[in-house]
Structure 1
Amino acid sequence: MTLLRDQDLAHAFDRAADSYDRLVAMNPGYHADLRRSARRLQLPDGGAGLRLLDLGCGTGASTAALLRAAPRAEITAVDASAGMLERAAAKSWPSRVTFVHASAEELALRETGGTGAYDAVFAAYLLRNVTDVDGVLASVQALLRPGGRLAVHEYSLSGRALHRALWTALCRTVIIPAGTLTGDRDLYHHLWHSVLAFDTAPELTARLVRGGWGGVRSVPMPGWSTGVVHTFIARRDALRPAGATA
């Protein structure tokens, strides 16, 4: 299967926006895992005085997780899908949460010029869906202040055949049938194959190190998603310019 990319993928998410929350609710660990990854940023004092970026916010599940981890922070939530963003913005949020329609690259050009506007970035289920992973990670570096933290929450398989088979079985028996009922079969076929084609957890860890990130580590999720979903923690190295390679 050819993976959906860029505008085609954004349009697919636009079409799926109305049913997306119902589908993810079928996964009992979905929201708990997002909250766990947001906590792994280890933001002090409830995020007081911090500017945080939720990159690829979708319908706002990751935004809610970040807000719960840092209830005193200022949060900017960004997505390239207008439909998903509209769904997110329609929910009830405190005034310190703002939604922006943009890609990571557009936001980096718009806001910083490399000086770093944010103290931390949370990117959930984003990197699999971009054409230029390294380019997006460089844009994220530009958006972070030196020493700023990154948490990537992603379907990134362990590399073991068992977890690859588990993911395929889950997609064939639950995810794709559910997506077919809502008319979004192509999007959920994309989800299946995008995970298989994406970096394994060791590969993504190595990619972050090559990209000049410091303190890189990957942490698995507990329960059924062990070996399927990981949090990747990193920081923008204060001693290295944004986007520099190691």
Structure 2
Amino acid sequence: MVRELFNSIAERYDLVNRLTTLGLDKRWRRKACETALTYLDVKKPRILDVACGTGDMIRCMMKRLEKRGVPARFYGLDCSERMLEIARKKVPFAELRVGNAEDIPFPDGSFDLVSVAFGLRNFSEREKAISEIHRVLKQGGILLLLEFSRNESPLGKLAWFYTRSVVPIIGGILTGNREAYNHLLRSIEAFPSPEELSREFEKRGFEVLTIRWFFPRIAFVMVLRRV
């Protein structure tokens, strides 16, 4: 279901993201990458972006590392073939594969950093996906999570009202598939808080390094280390 959902909205996915977040999604990615890279001390890192979509996170990470003069090898994994078709044009330097987070097609300890941006909510078996991410990370490797969740602060409640009221309308008009965006809203509503999520990861061999909400408190970054 998730694969077909993202296949159906792939062509307008980036446009909807820019419009509905007023461009903030690019800032969230940039800040998330900068936060995670403060914990990465590897000369030639191997980086995997799970649920890579159209490649925005890979491109963001590449630009940050390029500024630091750090060469890296990039890999992407996504269940949506149409999303990957777009990603191959945006990040031709990355090795992209069709696949699922619950069965990552790479050997144990393959990566220095794994990122998941706005994809964790859509994993059908989150516990299995967490175990797979742990498996493919090297000892001491970094995990970067960027996700949506509800925040009970006044600003967070206002952001959730906007997201719930406006995003399905804009997404539905531009993609012709309003139900896809209704599904995404339901996934946000059912998603655990960062604190609850951190406990899930700690039980499976991760140490939480930092949690940070981004304006307007509808998106957060969590950086963890594989222990």
Give the TM-score of the pair, scaled to structure 2.
0.89
Q: 2:197 aligns with which of 204, 207, 211?
A: 204
Shift in Å, 1:36 = 0.9
Looking at structure 1, the residues matched to 45 and 72 of structure 2 have their Cα atoms a distance apart, in angstroms, of: 5
AA matched with 1:177: I
Looking at structure 2, the residues matched to 20 and 218 of structure 1 have their Cα atoms a distance apart, in angstroms, of: 27
- Check conservation: 1:125, 1:155, Cα contact below 8 A: yes
Q: Does 1:178 align with 2:170?
A: yes
Q: 2:102 aligns with which of 83, 95, 105?
A: 105
Q: 1:152 aligns with which of 130, 142, 145?
A: 145
Looking at structure 2, the residues matched to 207 and 43 of structure 1 have their Cα atoms a distance apart, in angstroms, of: 23
Deviations 1:148-173 (A, max 9, x none): 00010000223557624531332312
Looking at structure 2, the residues matched to 161 and 204 of structure 1 have their Cα atoms a distance apart, in angstroms, of: 22
Question: Which residue in 1 is equivalent to 2:84?
Answer: 85
Question: Which residue in 1 is equivalent to 2:25?
Answer: 30
The number of residues matched between the two structures is 220
SS of the equivalent of 1:111 reads coil
Question: Which residue in 2 is equivalent to 1:240?
Answer: none
Deviations 1:152-211 (A, max 9, x none): 0000223557624531332312x1111111212111001111101011121112222222
SS of the equivalent of 1:103 reads coil
SS of the equivalent of 2:127 reads helix
SS of the equivalent of 1:180 reads helix
Q: 2:45 aligns with which of 50, 54, 62?
A: 50
**Structure 1 pair 45/142, CA: closer, same or farther in 2 (3 Å)?**
closer
Give runs of aligned pairs for residues 189-228 of structure 1, distance below 5 A. 189-221=182-214, 223-224=215-216, 226=217, 228=218
Question: Which residue in 2 is equivalent to 1:233?
Answer: 223
**Structure 1 pair 106/179, CA: closer, same or farther in 2 (3 Å)?**
same
Shift in Å, 1:40 = 1.3
Question: Which residue in 1 is equivalent to 2:112?
Answer: 119
AA matched with 1:78: L
**Structure 1 pair 45/203, CA: closer, same or farther in 2 (3 Å)?**
closer
SS of the equivalent of 1:70 reads helix
Gaps of at least 5 residues in structure 1 are 1-7, 238-246
Gaps of at least 5 residues in structure 2 are none
Question: Which residue in 1 is equivalent to 2:36?
Answer: 41
Shift in Å, 1:133 = 1.2
Calculate percent identity across the aligned residue pairs: 24
Looking at structure 1, the residues matched to 35 and 195 of structure 2 have their Cα atoms a distance apart, in angstroms, of: 18
Looking at structure 2, the residues matched to 121 and 131 of structure 1 have their Cα atoms a distance apart, in angstroms, of: 19
**Structure 1 pair 232/92, CA: closer, same or farther in 2 (3 Å)?**
closer
Looking at structure 1, the residues matched to 42 and 10 of structure 2 have their Cα atoms a distance apart, in angstroms, of: 29
Looking at structure 2, the residues matched to 164 and 203 of structure 1 have their Cα atoms a distance apart, in angstroms, of: 19
Question: Which residue in 2 is equivalent to 1:59?
Answer: 54
Looking at structure 2, the residues matched to 162 and 132 of structure 1 have their Cα atoms a distance apart, in angstroms, of: 31
Deviations 1:205-242 (A, max 9, x none): 22222222114431111x32x2x1111110110xxxxx
SS of the equivalent of 2:62 reads helix
Looking at structure 2, the residues matched to 116 and 78 of structure 1 have their Cα atoms a distance apart, in angstroms, of: 16
**Structure 1 pair 45/167, CA: closer, same or farther in 2 (3 Å)?**
closer
